[in-house]
């Protein structure tokens, strides 16, 4: 039994939904289908989720948002017309949106979740309706009926452990199950969404819940590439990579998945295949527990900007018991999470995502570090990128870091920080953001061209 997830571009138009129908019909093992909201039809288009955010925001501000509402309805009408479906489905979607707008909720966050989730919810109904019109036995299933229980954190839901047992029952449903991605329900019955890109999370949870043989994730590229195709021309395709490698690459900016999305499938050891809706016969990329890595110790290069570092120096820091704890406590008190802490004898840097640090927090943190830890120097540097080379085979291969640093030297990139530390799977270089693309290109030349 397989779980398939189709992303926004795979469902953006009638033409795309026809391809999805063919893919489902081609394999009876494709039992559970998770759908996103309709995505962009071309570069300049707007995703339905973003239209819904505009609708919700405008409605909260003015108590009405007729133009924004019509923009959403038009997207579905266009799709329904292209699929030659009756007007009933568009009428149902219109009524659903009106009902959501009229719902009394506790907070604006809850209201926004209700609006955002309608993108996938109504699309799942539309896809089920279309498949039925083609004679395929298909049923829409609501996450509440299926018991997809999540924590009550609007926009940031976490699956609750008891959800998996509930979801196992989906195996026994008749025909193909069409399941909306991106949201679940709290035990109190509130609708709560996952972070953006969260339909991947739903797919992964369902794959773990029904104990699937395979989780197929359909998108708009033939495979995962070793580097970002917008930075490197025609990068090589990755045929196979491990769960850990995928997790590290997604963390550092690989946009294939939300970085936590695959964890439920990984924990259960369910293989994941990334495939292309526009070219379903291409083999795609398999993500599995173990791979043969002798011939390719480095599997990919990723980079992500938006980091900053809090640099702290104090003479004899290495001998001061509790210094690290106290420093991290100051950061914890501001509700900030950190990414890396490379350290020397008398200095240490705490690296974090810079959007967590507004001017007020920055001042408070610097003051507390100065006054409570009596340091010789503390300052913040912004505009950093983390460039990462990833591969399970790196730890057993001599010369990988030599090759990487030589490549960065050729690209005239100054390295602010290197962290190989405890991760056996990746090596991270902190560099200035504006040099990140040059760094990725030269690392690609080093590890992937003859």
Binding site for ligand ASP (CB under 6 A): 8, 36-37, 47, 49, 119, 181-182, 196-200
The candidate with the shortest Cα–Cα distance to 404, out of 424, 421, 419, 423, is 419
| 36 vs 277 by CB, closer to ligand ASP | 36
**CB of 45 vs ligand ASP, minimal distance in Å:** 13
Half-sphere exposure at residue 123, Cβ-oriented, CA atoms within 13 angstroms: 35
Q: Would you give the distance in Å from CA 70 to the centre of its chain? A: 29
| 49 vs 122 by CB, closer to ligand ASP | 49
C-alpha–C-alpha distance, residues 39 and 137, integer Å = 25
Structure letter (DSSP) for residue 150: B
| 11 vs 331 by CB, closer to ligand ASP | 11
| 56 vs 197 by CB, closer to ligand ASP | 197
| 16 vs 309 by CB, closer to ligand ASP | 16
| 191 vs 226 by CB, closer to ligand ASP | 191
Task: Annotate 81-96 with b (16+ C-beta within 10 A) or e (fewer).
Answer: eebebeeebbeebbee
**CB of 38 vs ligand ASP, minimal distance in Å:** 9
Segment holding 179, helix H or strand E: strand 176-180
C-alpha–C-alpha distance, residues 203 and 210, integer Å = 11
**CB of 359 vs ligand ASP, minimal distance in Å:** 29
C-alpha–C-alpha distance, residues 421 and 349, integer Å = 14
Structure letter (DSSP) for residue 69: H
**CB of 437 vs ligand ASP, minimal distance in Å:** 25
Q: Which residue is nearest to ligand ASP (CB)?
A: 199
**CB of 196 vs ligand ASP, minimal distance in Å:** 4
**CB of 288 vs ligand ASP, minimal distance in Å:** 23
Measured CA angle at 272 (ends 173, 301), to 5 deg: 155
């Amino acid at each position: 039994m397989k779980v398939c997830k189709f992303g926004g571009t795979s469902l953006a138009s009638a033409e795309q939904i026809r391809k999805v129908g063919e893919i489902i019909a081609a394999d009876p093992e494709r039992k559970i289908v998770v759908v996103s909201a309709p995505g962009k039809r071309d570069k300049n288009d707007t995703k339905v989720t973003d239209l819904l955010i505009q609708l919700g925001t405008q409605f909260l501000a003015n108590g009405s948002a007729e133009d924004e509402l019509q923009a959403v309805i038009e997207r579905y009408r266009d799709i329904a017309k292209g699929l030659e479906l009756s007007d009933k489905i568009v009428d149902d979607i219109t009524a659903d949106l009106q009902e959501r707008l009229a719902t009394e909720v506790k907070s604006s966050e809850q209201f926004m979740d209700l609006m955002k989730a309608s993108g996938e919810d109504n699309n799942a109904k539309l896809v089920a309706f279309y498949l039925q019109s083609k004679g395929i036995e298909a049923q829409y299933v609501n996450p509440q009926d299926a018991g997809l229980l999540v924590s009550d954190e609007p926009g940031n839901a976490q699956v609750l452990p008891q959800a998996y047992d509930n979801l196992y029952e989906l195996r026994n449903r008749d025909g193909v199950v069409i399941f909306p991605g991106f949201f679940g329900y709290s035990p109190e019955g509130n609708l709560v969404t996952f972070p953006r890109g969260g339909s991947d999370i739903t797919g992964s949870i369902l794959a773990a819940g029904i104990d699937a043989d395979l989780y197929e994730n359909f998108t708009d590229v033939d495979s995962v590439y070793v580097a970002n195709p917008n930075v490197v021309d025609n990068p090589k395709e990755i045929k196979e990579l491990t769960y850990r490698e995928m997790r590290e690459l997604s963390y550092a900016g690989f946009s294939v998945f939300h970085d936590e999305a695959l964890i439920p499938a990984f924990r259960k050891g369910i293989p994941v295949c990334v495939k292309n809706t526009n070219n379903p016969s291409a083999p795609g990329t398999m993500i599995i527990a173990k791979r043969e890595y002798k011939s390719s110790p480095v599997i990919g290069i990723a980079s992500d900007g938006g980091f900053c570092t809090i640099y702290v120096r104090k003479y004899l820091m290495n001998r001061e018991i509790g210094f690290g704890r106290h420093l991290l406590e100051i950061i914890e008190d501001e509700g900030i999470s950190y990414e890396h802490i490379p350290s020397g004898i008398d200095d240490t840097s705490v690296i974090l995502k810079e959007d967590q640090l507004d001017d007020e927090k920055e001042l408070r943190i610097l003051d507390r570090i100065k006054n409570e830890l009596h340091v010789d120097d503390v300052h913040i540097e912004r505009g950093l990128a983390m460039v990462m080379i990833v591969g399970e085979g790196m730890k057993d291969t001599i010369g990988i870091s030599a090759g990487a640093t030589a490549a960065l030297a050729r690209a005239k990139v100054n390295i602010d920080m290197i962290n190989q530390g405890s991760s056996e799977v990746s090596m991270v270089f902190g560099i200035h953001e504006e040099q990140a693309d040059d760094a990725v290109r030269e690392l690609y030349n080093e590890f992937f061209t003859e």
